[in-house]
Amino acid sequence: MINKSLKLYEKLSLTNVSFNNNFIKNTKKILNSGIYINGPFSENLEKRFSKFIGVNYAINVSNGLDGLILGLNAFKLIRKKKNLNEVIVPANTYIASILSIIHAGLKPILVEPNIDDYNIDLELAKKKISKNTLAIMPVHLYGRPVDFRKLNYFRRKKIFIIEDASQAHGAHINGKKVGSIGDLGVFSCYPGKNLGSIGDAGIITTNSKKLFMITKTLKNYGSKKKYFNDYIGFNNRMDEIQAAFLIEKLKKLRKINSNKIKIAKTYDKYLNSKFIKPKIDNFHNVFHIYPIRVNKRNKFIKYLKKQKIPFNIHYPIAPHKQKALRKIFGKKILPITEEIHKTTISLPIAPYIPKKKIKEYCLKINKYND
Ligand SMILES: Cc1ncc(COP(=O)(O)O)c(C=O)c1O
């Protein structure tokens, strides 16, 4: 039912059309070189992305989930005590953030979000600190930066910070970009992301030489030197084709983000206030998505379909309510998270959609009666 509308929600071929030719040229170079992994394009992307985010190091990885698992494993290798095994995470994130904690053999401690910006409530998070807290994983959800000025409290308590920046490439507060705040930042480059590739890919960022060395080694079988293994590592590398594509897309990222921001501002201006719209303030939200909240979502969906307005739902079921996690979270009740999952719906925000079309959507949506 949703799938048909999803195809129209964003056509990635249109998002990516402007740099196809450069990418094809570079793909030929890769084919001719015979270097398909750990080559010059990967190195080039790491240099460019670290510069873009404003950090000392970037480490290309296979995808966002693997990047988070690698980061948490790196913390485990350098933690002071074995009992440090809890990671504080927002309850309303995409399930991957929580899965990464479980896959790393750690315990997710769910925290409710703020209802006004959907990001983790850091005052509540403070109360969840225990003698076992290893790390906090703020997630810059939907493209909006977490108010990271409040993270100093956790830093002072020697709690590691791993930012899940998978939805927020280029988001910042007063010029300080997400991915440059924590001990580690992790970006997904899944095709639908603002910096999406043509397959699975991800990037870790850090200012720490130690964490750079460990994550870079861990992703490559725990090996710094071929056939010599220092850690029980993984195979989490990014291939040259993805790197070549991401280099071209990174050149366009500012434009992609600014187009999405313009669309968000158009919705904000023209959509009726009976819909709960995302907060717009001086935080540089890159609007990976544009979520609104409506009470009778199913009825609203029927209306959107009738009006031929594409949509998506991020996300229909809260992680703690998923069958996969029932054993871990039992009957946990998280009212704010549940309310968001019940009422949220994402409107089209692909960067190529003209302002005129968005205005047209708004006028139709405003006529909806619930
Ligand atoms: C918040 C968040 N964390 C982690 C991930 C995992 O990234 P990937 O799909 O590249 O593994 C995603 C995206 O899928 C995400 O949205």
Domains of the chain: 13-111+119-246 (3.40.640.10), 253-365 (3.90.1150.10)
Residues with CB under 6 A from ligand 1: 63-65, 93-94, 96-97, 139, 164, 166-167, 188, 190, 200, 202
Ligand 1: centre distance to CA 202 (Å)? 9
pLDDT band at 192 (very low <50, low <70, confident <90, very high): very high
Question: Phi/psi at 108 (nearest 5 deg)?
Answer: -75, 130
Are 185 and 53 spatial neighbours (Cβ–Cβ below 8 Å)? yes
Whether pLDDT at 89 is above 80? yes
The closest residue, in CA terms, to atom 4 on ligand 1 is 96
Q: How far apart are CA 207 and CA 138, in angstroms?
A: 17
pLDDT of the residue at 364: 98
The Cα–Cα gap between 59 and 11 comes to 29
Q: Confidence band (pLDDT; 50, 70, 90) for 6?
A: low
Mean pLDDT of 341-367: 98
Q: Give the pLDDT band of residue 81 (cuts 50, 70, 90).
A: very high
Residue with tokens 């158009």: 266
pLDDT at position 8: 86
Task: Report percent pLDDT > 70 for the chain.
Answer: 98
| Amino acid 370: pLDDT | 83
∠ CA(184), CA(75), CA(181), 5° rounding? 20
Q: What is the pLDDT, as a whole number, of residue 5?
A: 55
* Predicted confidence band of residue 69 (pLDDT cuts 50, 70, 90): very high
**Model confidence, pTM:** 0.97
Pocket test for ligand 1, best of 65, 98, 100, 142 (most atoms within 8 A of CB): 65
Ligand 1 geometric centre to CA of 190 (Å): 7
**Local confidence band at 24 (pLDDT 50, 70, 90 cut-offs):** very high
* Residue range 171-198: mean pLDDT, rounded: 98
User: In the prediction, which pLDDT does 4 show?
Assistant: 58
> Under a CB-based contact definition with an 8 Å cutoff, are residues 88 and 111 in contact?
yes
Rounded Cα distance between 263 and 284, Å, is 14
Mean pLDDT, rounded, for 236-249 = 98
